[in-house]
Amino acid sequence: MIKREELFMKVAVIGCGTIANAAHIPAYMKNPEAEIKYFCDIIPERAEKAVKEYGCGTAVTDYHDVLKDPEVVAVSICTPNNMHPVIAIDAMRAGKHVLCEKPAARTWARCSTSMSAFVRIVRSPAWAARLPPRPSPAAAR
């Protein structure tokens, strides 16, 4: 028999700043099938504040600790942009699903490196981009 807690997708939020608190964490908290197992930030107080504020998870300061946990299925990368490719590649190598908002990197070369690593590691490229809504041709007239 499958236990209820086994049905949850355990995730980690890496970076507990503005985007994490404005979008990622609230979305996970509203999802009945997700459980935030870790809040990770290089500023310990941010991770600890998230644990207290949201009433779940464990505060950590090193994202490598998160990646070592086999229960963690996915990570949200909510760090400064220059860290996106490094953490994303490490997470993919650890077998985790990665949610990383734009930009994937600060330069095209770093983005290309991330995508190449993604294709090598995952072997099934997928890329999602959220674009601003465009006005319809009828609205432009």
Tens-place pLDDT, residues 76-135: 999 998 888 889 889 988 999 888 876 666 666 766 766 666 666 664 445 554 444 545
Across the range 1-8, mean pLDDT stands at 61
Pick from 60, 124, 67, 57: which is nearest to 93 by CA?
67
- For position 12, what pLDDT does the model report? 98
Give me the percent of the chain exceeding a pLDDT of 90.
55
**String of DSSP letters for 57-126:** SEEES-HHHHHH-TTEEEEEE-S-GGGHHHHHHHHHHTT-EEEEPSPS-SSHHHHHHHHHHHHHHHSS--
- For position 59, what pLDDT does the model report? 98
Across the range 21-32, mean pLDDT stands at 96
Residue 45: strand, helix, or coil: helix
Does 102 participate in catalysis according to the annotation?
A: yes
Location of structure tokens 């465009």: 134
Q: Which neighbouring-strand residues pair with 10?
A: 35, 72
Catalytic site residue from 3, 30, 52, 102 = 102
- For position 132, what pLDDT does the model report? 46
Query: Tokens at residue 75, please?
Result: 């990570």
Global pTM exceeds 0.85: no
Q: Which domains does the chain have, with CATH numbers?
A: 4-124 (3.40.50.720)
- Rounded to whole angstroms, the maximal C-alpha distance in the chain is 60
